């Protein structure tokens, strides 16, 4: 499911937590919808050509899709906003996938767990 309204993006930007990667900046905010939602941005400042921006968005969408099993392991559902960086133009799919999965792992490590607020070890 995608974030569509600017108000939904604004909520994630204003209240969410920011994670900077070398290929993307990810904003994460918990939701109560029972599923993860995501939004993707690739600005003209990042890539002047629409073809380049669309490729960046495709890579980020696919990274999110391929991470669905890792996302399913999270105790909380989140709204995710992925902002593309210019360096994303120079890579193949595996790099943004690893970058995004690293962010998901960081979110999982920082996430409060249901059992008395204690953090559990992920294997």
Query: Which stretch of 34-43, 65-74, 92-101, 114-123 has the lowest confidence by average pLDDT?
Result: 114-123
Choose among 14, 59, 16: nearest CA to 37: 16
Q: Does pLDDT of 15 surpass 90?
A: yes
* Domains along the sequence of the chain with CATH: 6-107 (3.30.230.10)
User: What is the CA 9 to chain-centroid distance, rounded?
Assistant: 12
Entry pTM:
0.86
Q: What DSSP assignment string belongs to 33-67?
A: SSS-EEEEE--TTT-SSHHHHHHHHHHHHHHHHHT
Q: Does pLDDT of 60 surpass 70?
A: yes
Band (112; pLDDT cuts 50, 70, 90): confident
């Amino acid at each position: 499911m995608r974030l569509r309204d600017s108000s939904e993006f604004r909520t994630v930007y204003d209240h969410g937590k920011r994670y900077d990667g070398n290929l993307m900046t990810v904003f994460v905010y918990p939701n109560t919808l029972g599923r993860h939602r995501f939004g993707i941005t690739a600005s003209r400042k990042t890539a002047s050509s629409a073809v380049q921006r669309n490729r960046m968005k495709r890579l980020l969408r696919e990274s999110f899709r391929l991470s669905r099993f890792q996302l399913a392991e999270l105790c909380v559902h989140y709204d995710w906003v992925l902002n593309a960086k210019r360096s994303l133009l120079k890579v193949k799919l595996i790099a943004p996938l690893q970058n995004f999965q690293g962010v998901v792992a960081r979110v999982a490590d920082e996430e409060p767990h249901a059992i008395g607020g204690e953090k559990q070890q992920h294997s």
